[in-house]
Chain A
Amino acid sequence: MALVKLTINNQPHTIDVDPEMPLLWAIRDVVGLTGTKFGCGVAQCGACTVHLDGAPIRSCSYPASAAAGHKITTIEGLSKNADHPVQKAWIEHQVPQCGYCQSGQIMSAVALLKQNPKPSDEDIDTAMQGNICRCGTYERIRKAIHSASTEMASAPKMPKSTPKIGKL
């Protein structure tokens, strides 16, 4: 066991874990953020995708200790009110079905658009191939990425509608 200092969504966390523990389990079981999902554990499905200094990584195959000193962003830290242009596009196109893969899909899409603001269909296919969606939401993912790309290219404006989170 060792003390590992992580910065997740701009919050510092000091956790006492096996340094080999994958970041995924540190985030889910120790820090308690469950938006990041477990799908395969072997970097095959993308469900566990988070950002390390803005770049997408598979947190199931990345030791927590190696993430120390880096800026980790999970789906919960992407935006305050789930109003990142990619999240808004996901709502506009009603992408999720079961939704289990979607945190990972969104994190991969955000990273793609950061690197390539105007991706072609081929660019999207290449960047998103590591993210399995068993429910088959791929066509909508493609459309939503194009929408988000357009939205992000236009001058910043007030969000059309703020999606409601929770009904309580």
Chain B
Amino acid sequence: MSTTPTGTETGTSRRNFLKAAGLSGAAFALGFSSVDSFASPVLNLSGQPGMALPESVELNPYILIEKSGRIVLMNPRPEIGQGTYQSIPALIAEELEVSLDNVTIRQTGGETKYGGMWSQAVGGSGSVRGGYMQMRKVGASAREMLRQAASQQWAVPIGECIAENATIVHKPSGKKLTYGQLAEVAAKLPVPKEPALKDPKQFSMLGKPMPRPDVPLKVAGQATFGIDAKVPGMVYASIERCPVLGSKLVSFDASKSLKVKGVQKAVKVERVVGKNRYEGVAIIADNYWAALQGRKALSVTWDHNNFDTFNSADFENKLRDLAKTDGVQGHNTGDFDKSFADAPNKVEALYETPMVSHSTMEPMNALAHYKPDGKVELWVSSQGGDLVRGDVAKVLNVKPDDITVHILFNGGGFGRRITQDFATEAATLSKTIGKPVKVVWTREDDTQLGPFRPMTFSAMRGALSADGKAIALQHKVISPSIDATMNEKYDKTKADDTMLEGTGDQKYEIPNLNTRYVHADMHVPLTYWRSVTSSTLAFSHECFIDEMAHKAGQDPLAFRMSMLTKDSDAKRVLTKLKEVSGWDNPLPEGKGRGIAQWEFFAGLAGQVVEVSKNKTGGIKVDKVYCVIDLGTVVNPDNVKAQMEGSIAMALTAATKDAITFEKGQAVQKNFDANRMLRINEMPTVEVHILAEGGPTIKGVGEPGLPPLAPALANAIFAATGKRIRRMPFDLEKV
């Protein structure tokens, strides 16, 4: 494994490109460079490692054109299943006038020329939202430079030079030059400041259902995931970390481990998760199985430091007690206290949701090599090359420029791979042992060690006027905090915006709306989980709106519409849902339908769930109608896939297993106790996309998730009269 960077240093012209394309921190380069200066062979996501690439011209950091005409597009957004391996290159390719069938896609690895932190990370459903104009400009400016180059070469007006299919054509004469023939000249031209963008009516791929270039690789078993990475001289490791989070390593005895064939050594290693540091013992071996066997033979003494008294039942009681306190104010309109006190009709309820695991199908892992010269190279499934670089630099005290990161296909992310503990731990271990090492977590490690999605409890209070109008609503969230468990500095006097996510943002016109936050200290590390706190708060909020509707004696959809008198995206979503779900058609006895919508930082979607009572007294989820509001859509088939996936994940979180603690450790270890939705439990999903243009593009990866649990619980109420106020709930025992 070697990379041969050939120097593409930052110069003035690069900075100009940046300004031109509106990119901060990215760069523009002239001259020749090898694609391999960005990507060592193993990074090659197309599954054919080891091939040296010929010289190429870098038209800008994202577009490299070889003399042979081959075009390489650099994708800054890791592919975690959400489709950025297609959607981001498509934004460039559309304007560049090349087909994705004829390009090579490579993944960037956190290099500073692509921008600052988060420019190469995925999270917050932000890749397409953030890149829609930026990536199109990248493609358009390169296209304009290529047209300019052709017009100079032919001495004809640029207006007569048309870009199509990786070629510039001189329309009057029919002369043609390929991008490969023009690239060298084009790269020396000034970068257009505001390149003309295509009229969306002329789009050949954006907005149309397009196949994903990663699909054939994944179907052939040829897609390289982080766990598949290999380098010569590599050893394997499995690490024993205490499942009682917070414990200190006292001592260990590896004498039996060292007798296992293939085991080389046992060393201490530290895992850093935000402000938390956990020690573990790594067993280094020739192969992973030997490492696992060595780990089983290890004996470790831990000091639990009282953390082994922590359990979920007590913590939940603490949250219930805290629910009686006021907390700090988040959003406020009107005067909740007064309007609630004076109201003729009131509703109050406490909703409870649990911690859950991310459980990506590919367990956490990382291959790291800390080299004798102090440089570090990593091969990882991660949600951000820049995040890996940043954290490895911090934890190992290495200069970011001395760190090379290869981002491979992620076997799922869901927010877990935003935290880079698995990468920094592997890098630390490699430094200790002086060899490239691949650390693979067992499923048990992955399930038990966090960070987890936080639990939230919600104390809800609502008031109705005598004629059944919602006049006051209070949503008080009682929970531990992601920020507090991860960062040293946490201000308890301020409402935690992340933990109140979306509660003040719904478009319902309720004159007195108050949100409050009560913080509960917890030592278990927490992090973002697909749709973050909306994944739990939408449940309490939208179920409670249903409770208010029933108190008012109104149809739940009509009640919501009555609070949406002004024009809004939410109103359009509910109107569409009503139409496509046939909301007004009565259902037979034993069936029910429920509705919910949720608007938050990532976007907006609404769902209608249909359920039926089965013969054993349980509930079957028959169908989910999903309407997502996007404004602009890039790949409708992928949006549909993301809705299907969000619904499956939300259904798992709502109806399967929580992560619960006893004696300081997570009770659930593997998929037997931490069950995932299976194929026989998947409902039919019907997706409708609202893409009617408009100035804002909304996200895709997350908004399909929050409405499912409340719509399902509301449907169960409609079918059975039973109100569910706690997740998870067992569909067989409703």
Residues of A within 8 A of B (CB): 1, 17-18, 21-22, 25, 28-30, 32-42, 44-45, 47, 74-76, 82, 87, 90-91, 94-103, 106, 124-126, 128-129, 131-142, 163-168
Closest A-chain residue to B412, C-beta based?
A98
Q: Among A94, A102, A134, which residue has its beta carbon within 8 angstroms of that of B676?
A: A134
Find residues 645-673 in chain B having any chain A CB closer than 8 Å to their own CB: 645-649, 670-672
Partner of A34 from B44, B228, B293 at Cβ < 8 Å: B228
**Is B219 a contact of A42 with CB atoms below 8 Å?**
no
- Whether B80 sits at the interface, judged by CB under 8 Å, is yes
Given the known inter-chain contacts A134-B359, A135-B645, A139-B644, please indicate yes or no for A167 contacting B105, CB distance below 8 A: yes
| Contact status A91-B641, CB under 8 Å | no
Q: Are B221 and A165 in contact (CB under 8 A)?
A: no
Known A-B contacts A74-B221, A100-B225; the reply to A137 vs B645 at CB < 8 A is yes
Selected from B79, B216, B288, B648, the residue in CB contact (under 8 A) with A29 is B288
Q: Report the bound CA distance from A1 to B217 in whole Å.
A: 35
Q: What A residues does B414 contact at CB under 8 A?
A: 134
Task: Give A94 Cβ to nearest chain B Cβ, in Å.
Answer: 6
**Is the pair B104, A134 in contact by a Cβ cutoff of 8 Å?**
no
Proximity bits, B74-85, A CB within 8 Å = 1, else 0: 000001111100
What per-residue 1/0 map shows which CB atoms of B199-241 lie under 8 Å from chain A?
0000000000001111111111111110110100000100000
Complex: chain A residue closest to B290, CB-CB: A18
Q: Which of B362, B443, B648 contacts A41 (CB 8 A)?
A: B443
**Which one of B565-573, B588-596, B677-685 is at the interface?**
B677-685
A102 touching B649 in the complex, CB below 8 Å, given contacts A40-B443, A129-B679: no
Q: Across the interface, do A135 and B412 meet the contact criterion of CB distance under 8 Å?
A: yes
Which residues of A lie under 8 Å from residue B249 when comparing CB positions?
none
Q: Is the CB of B289 within 8 A of A22?
A: yes
| A26 to B, closest residue via Cβ | B289
Interface size counted on chain B using CB atoms at 8 A: 75
Q: Answer whether A38 and B440 are a contact pair too, CB < 8 Å, given A100-B362, A136-B648, A138-B648.
A: yes
> How far does the Cβ of A119 sit from chain B's closest Cβ, in whole Å?
12
**Which residues of the partner chain A approach B684 to less than 8 Å between Cβ atoms?**
139
| Residues on A with beta carbons closer than 8 Å to the beta carbon of B644 | 136-140
CA A166 to CA B105, docked complex, whole Å: 10
Provide the residues of chain B in CB contact with A37, threshold 8 Å: 225, 227, 361-362, 411
B722: interface (CB < 8 Å): no
Question: Which residues of B (335-360) have their CB < 8 Å from a CB of A?
Answer: 359-360
Instruction: Mark each residue of chain B from 632 to 652: 1 if its CB lies under 8 Å from any CB of chain A, else 0.
Output: 000001100110111111000
Residues of chain B within 8 A of A41, CB atoms compared: 442-443, 670
Q: Is the beta-carbon distance between A38 and B363 smaller than 8 angstroms?
A: yes
Closest-by-CB residue of A relative to B648 is A136
Q: Could you give, for residues 401-419 of chain B, a 1 whenever the CB lies within 8 Å of some chain A CB and a 0 otherwise? A: 0000000011111100000
A-side contacts of B287, CB under 8 Å: 17, 21, 25, 29-30
In the complex, the answer to whether A98 meets B46 with C-beta atoms within 8 Å is no
A163–B440 touching, CB < 8 Å: no
Cβ of B103 under 8 Å from chain A: yes
Q: Is the CB of B218 within 8 A of A99?
A: yes
Q: Are the CB atoms of B105 and A94 closer together than 8 Å?
A: no
Whether A97 contacts B81 by the Cβ 8 Å rule is yes
Known: A74-B221, A166-B217. A44 touches B670 (CB 8 A): yes
The chain B residue sitting closest to A99, CB to CB, is B218
B361 touches A134 (CB 8 A): yes
* 6 more CB-based (< 8 A) A-B contacts, given A41-B670, A100-B360: A45-B676, A94-B215, A99-B219, A102-B219, A163-B220, A164-B101
Chain B's nearest CB lies how many Å from the CB of A77?
Answer: 9
- Which residues of chain B are within 8 angstroms of A17 by Cβ–Cβ distance? 287, 289
Q: State in angstroms the CA–CA spacing of A131 and B677 once bound together.
A: 10
Query: How far in angstroms is the closest Cβ of chain B from A92?
Result: 9
Interface set, chain B 279-329, CB cutoff 8 A to A:
287-290, 293
Tell me the minimal C-beta distance from B85 to chain A in angstroms: 10
* Contact (Cβ within 8 A) A45 B671: yes
| Interface contact A166-B46, CB-CB below 8 Å | yes
Verify B214–A96 contact, CB threshold 8 A: yes
For A133, the chain B residues whose CB sits under 8 A away are 361, 648, 679
Q: Which residues of B contact A (CB under 8 A)?
A: 44, 46-48, 51, 79-83, 101, 103-105, 211-225, 227-228, 230, 236, 261-262, 287-290, 293, 359-363, 409-414, 440, 442-443, 637-638, 641-642, 644-649, 670-672, 676-680, 682, 684-685
For A100, the closest partner residue in chain B by CB is B411
Do the beta carbons of A124 and B221 come within 8 Å of each other? no
Q: Are B212 and A40 in contact (CB under 8 A)?
A: no
Taking a contact as CB atoms under 8 Å apart, the answer to whether A134 and B360 are in contact is yes
Residues of B contacting A135 in the complex (Cβ-Cβ under 8 angstroms): 81, 361, 412, 645, 648
Listed from nearest, the 6 A-B pairs whose CB atoms lie closest are: A35-B221, A136-B648, A100-B411, A98-B81, A99-B218, A75-B221
Known: A98-B411, A132-B671. A137 touches B641 (CB 8 A): yes
A82's contact among B101, B220, B362, B638, by CB below 8 Å, is which?
Answer: B220
Cβ–Cβ contact B227 & A99, under 8 A: no
Quote the shortest CB–CB distance from B483 to chain A (angstroms): 26
Instruction: Report the separation of the CA atoms of residues A33 and B642 in the bound assembly, to the nearest whole angstrom.
Output: 30
7 chain-A/chain-B pairs, Cβ below 8 angstroms: A36-B221, A38-B440, A45-B671, A98-B410, A100-B412, A165-B216, A168-B51
Name the CB-closest residue of B to A18.
B261
Of A32, A90, A128, A139, which contacts B219 at CB under 8 A?
A: A90
- Chain B residues near A45 (CB-CB < 8 A): 361, 443, 671, 676
CA distance A6 to B532 in the complex (A): 46
Q: How far is the CB of A3 from chain B (nearest CB, A)?
A: 14
Q: Are A100 and B213 in contact (CB under 8 A)?
A: no
CB distance from B621 to the nearest CB of A (A): 12
A140 lies within 8 A of B219 (CB): no
Contacts of A1 in B (CB 8 A): 261
Asked if A35 and B361 sit within 8 Å, CB to CB, the answer is no
Give the distance in Å from the alpha carbon of A40 to the alpha carbon of B228 in the complex.
16
The answer to whether A94 touches B212 (Cβ under 8 A) is yes
Whether A87 pairs with B220 at a CB distance below 8 angstroms is yes
Determine which of B83, B215, B224, B412 lies in contact with A134 in the assembled complex, contact meaning CB atoms within 8 Å: B412
Residues of chain A within 8 A (CB-CB) of B648 are 133, 135-136, 138
Question: Which of A30, A91, A129, A134 has the most C-beta atoms of chain B within 10 angstroms of its own C-beta?
Answer: A134
Contact of A124 among B213, B218, B679 (CB under 8 A): B679
Q: How far is the CA of A141 from the CA of B682 in the complex (A)?
A: 11
- Report the Cα distance A33→B412, complex, angstroms: 21
Contact status B217-A102, CB under 8 Å: no
With A and B bound together, what is the CA distance between A168 and B671 in angstroms? 38
What separation, in Å, do the CA atoms of A140 and B679 have in the docked complex?
A: 10
